[in-house]
Amino acid sequence: MAYALLNTTTQSMRLLTTNQNRAVANLMLSELLEWSRAAGYSYLITQPAESSITINRTALNEPGSDTGIRKDVAMLDDFSLKWTDLAQKSTLKGKVTYIIEPIPSSDAVKVTIKIAWQDSSAFSPSDNALGAGKEISASTLVCKNGSGAYSK
């Protein structure tokens, strides 16, 4: 009986972590798509084709990305410049990849954001890129004269 209770508690905690991580990843994805549209075509077309964006800072004055495409980390609330409640409680460990692809013969770029993470440290890094293999992605078109949604 004690084993069954412990097993149920463990599974519940695992499910809670999975749901929280998915919520945090979706929040980041939405925020980064909006940021891309606000940054605009003129800025994005001059940036590197692929960048990594920091999820949470680990050191004072740490940049938001490895290439400088964005000074803020993914989970900072841009309006209040404070960490969101979800970000403060987040245990999400993962990677945000930001990809910019110019669309040939047009004044537009396709921005794709991929967020990959692991829910458990029980997986070794050799299992795949980040362990458990959770990933979400979405894209948007940013045109010289506005932007449009392109999701997959």
What are the counts of helices (DSSP H) followed by strands (DSSP E) for the chain?
Answer: 3, 7
pLDDT at 86: 64
- What ranges do the domains of the chain cover? 2-150
- Quick one: pLDDT at residue 149? 46
**Rounded Cα–Cα distance for residues 138 and 152 (Å):** 6
Pick 133 or 39 by higher pLDDT. 39
Residue 2 half-sphere exposure, CB side, CA atoms within 13 Å? 0
CB 56 within 8 A of CB 67: no
* Calpha distance 49→13 (Å, rounded): 38
The 10s digit of each residue's pLDDT in 29-75 is: 998 999 999 999 999 999 999 998 877 666 666 666 666 787 777 76
